[in-house]
A and B are shown apart, each in its own frame.
Chain A
Amino acid sequence: MSLYQWLDRRLDLSSVRLALLDRAVPERLTWWHTLGSATLAVFVIQVVTGIVLATFYSPSPDHAYDSIRYIESQVASGGLLRGMHHWAASAMVVLLIGHLLRVFAFGAYKYPREANWLIGVGLFILVMAFSFTGYLLPWDQKAYWATMVGTSIAGTTPVIGGELVALLRGGGDLGAATLSRFYAFHVLWLPFGLGLLILLHLVLVIRQGIAARPGAMEAGAPPRTDDPAYPAHYDQAYKRSKQGDVRFYPDIVGKDAIASAVIVVIIFGLALAFGAPLEAPADPTDSSYVPMPEWYFLPLYQLLKLVPGRFESAIAVGVPGALLFAMIALPFFDRRSTRNLLRRPVALASLVVILGGSGLLLGAALRERQPIVSPEVGRPLSSMERAGRALYSSQKCNDCHAIAGQGEDKGPELTEIGLRHSVAWLHSFLEDARRFRGDTTEMPSFGPPTLSHQQIEELTQYLASLRGKPGSGIEPEYHDTFP
């Protein structure tokens, strides 16, 4: 007697097998239908890699960053493991959105699957919460500042903003309490919630069956799904769609397993090749760091740059809120029985607008994200230096000075100014050149009110970065004399 027979006699596995694996499913399901199970597979990766990462991680500002460094340098395959967790997080968002779009495009959120669509929306929210909380855990510059911005955005919510931001941060400031609660959410609250919703999602998929292709459900259908005759039509049409002798196992499972394996290989490859980023440790006093959100928040980030400041909170909270509301309202609002996307002009147009708009914004944001290497400095500039460079041109410095051959020669050339003078000297000189050169000097004094002290410092930082031919390796030798 085989082990299977032994267990079957006691647990009646055959009926489970019949209900789960041998069940008939609709014909001609596409490869798009594998996106849901691939998302699930990636979730399993996150659970497995996440548990081991948590085994080595310390959720306190004193030790979080060092424990990540420890994982990267001391734990066997630690860097690979962290890389997989990082890339799988992105993959999960991509696959989830892909799955959502597939369900939307196939009209699969319509009768009788409205509830499962809503559970799916819940899963979407939780996955976003996962990325938001996971982002802080390495406690590097990016983590700290992106969370600072993210929680501040929540703080702009009307009426409850103040309470909301304090709730997110565990107090007024971003610190130990924030890290601890983000960790607890990331490894306890959210996995529990997500696990529960996934279970419900799958139970409903098994109870209601996989949605058939739109064509199979549309022939002879009443125009609206709230028509009393629609359920009977649906049941008949769905039954017909399952008559092609397609079984869940191996016909569907096989394709799912292949698709998931392809995704796993891609994630593994990316992790092996690139690992996961880790910047300098979080520095709450750094005023020059420009935080960037994770790529899936970039369209919103870019949109915020395009709107005037007074609309910022309306956009930052309003746009995601409106999208979420639209997703929740969709199955109740759209009750036409048409499922083919090409015959749903409003749905098609909305999809094009949302996807196209997000795509354009994402593209613009990615282009801007490329650090621009200034040829005269030979490296990307810090935000202070960038501001200084803008002042250099707006104050028309190049009417008198030249940098690397660009500009006039009335005043001294500045190509190597950073090698000859210290930041302190440059700042004082810019502020009041007459103190250094006498009242007859043609060099204007830029002290207030012409420029603020902050602006003078920005200009100073830019000038200090000018050190001749990039990469020459020449050390500065200051010849500063103060009056």
Chain B
Amino acid sequence: MNPARRTFLKFATAVSSALSAGLVGWPTLRAFLSPAFGKPAGERWIKAGEVDQMEAGVPIRVDFTETVRDAWVEGRVTRGLWLYSEDGSEFTVYNSRCTHLGCSYGFDKERKVFHCPCHHGLFDMKTGAVVGGPPPRGLDTLETKVEDGILMVAYRDFREGVADKIPVS
């Protein structure tokens, strides 16, 4: 066999294989990785309730359902908020997911702190600051406004387990 032909065939093997691998690999890898590069969902304004009906000095749990497009399934999902007001006019609203690993936390009436049952994260009810346990940051506060006596909350979720408050889809 002619050595030049053999050199060419070795070269052809490398080039052809690389071309095939590239053409198949590129769209495959791109599709597989695409969820990692999705854009975060925007905030949406939720009606949390009438301002003059809300008790001051005690956190209030508000659940709401929203229609979401979960990949190819359209469904209704229940999400939650914790509201706190010192004086009945200024509200602090927290996302109801613990900033540690996303569990749903509750309010401990005796100690007056938010308590997450999963890993015993503790948060101050007035500021949401961490007062005990593993959470890397305080509770995620949400933007609020009052329209015609209705408390509106800009709902969104944030990445769990990190010190920075980063919005997620």
A interface residues with partner B (beta carbon < 8 Å) = 41, 44-45, 48-49, 52, 55-56, 58, 63, 66-67, 69-71, 74-78, 80-81, 84, 244-247, 249-251, 253-255, 257-258, 260-261, 264-265, 268
Contacts and interface: CB of A to CB of B under 8 A. Distances in A.
Interface of B: 1, 6, 8-10, 12-13, 15-17, 19-20, 23-28, 30-34, 37, 71-73
* 5 closest residue pairs by CB, A with B: A254-B9, A261-B16, A76-B34, A66-B72, A77-B27
13 contacts: A45-B24, A48-B24, A52-B32, A66-B72, A67-B72, A76-B31, A78-B34, A81-B27, A254-B10, A254-B13, A257-B16, A261-B17, A264-B19
B28 A250 contact: no
Nearest to B14: A257
A49 B13 contact: no
A260 B1 contact: no
Contacts of B37: 76
B25 to A, nearest CB: 8
A67 B69 CA distance: 12
Contact of B28 (A41, A81, A253): A81
A406 to B, nearest CB: 48
A398 to B, nearest CB: 50
Contacts of A58: 72
Contacts of B71: 67, 70, 74
B42 to A, nearest CB: 17
A89 to B, nearest CB: 14
Contact of B24 (A71, A74, A84, A244): A84
Contacts of B9: 250-251, 253-255
Given A245-B1, A251-B1, A48 B28 contact: yes
Given A41-B20, A258-B12, A78 B6 contact: no
A268 B23 contact: yes
A48 B21 CA distance: 10
Contacts, number: 91
A75 B1 contact: no
Of the candidates B9, B16, B73, the one having the most CB atoms from chain A within 10 angstroms of its own CB is B16
A48 B20 CA distance: 12
Contact of B16 (A49, A63, A66, A260): A260
A81 B1 contact: no
A45 B19 CA distance: 13
A247 B6 CA distance: 10
A257 B8 CA distance: 12
A250 B72 CA distance: 48
B16 A55 contact: no
B44 to A, nearest CB: 20
Given A261-B17, A261-B20, 16 more contacts: A41-B20, A48-B24, A49-B24, A52-B28, A52-B32, A58-B72, A63-B72, A75-B34, A77-B30, A81-B28, A81-B31, A84-B24, A246-B1, A250-B13, A254-B12, A260-B20
B29 to A, nearest CB: 8
B27 A84 contact: yes
Contacts of A49: 24, 27-28
A268 B32 CA distance: 18
A251 to B, nearest CB: 6
Contacts of B12: 250, 254, 257-258
A74 B73 CA distance: 13
A155 B108 CA distance: 66
Nearest to B20: A264
A257 B17 CA distance: 6
B13 A66 contact: no
A257 B31 contact: no
A246 B5 CA distance: 11
B28 A265 contact: no
A372 to B, nearest CB: 36
Nearest to A88: B24
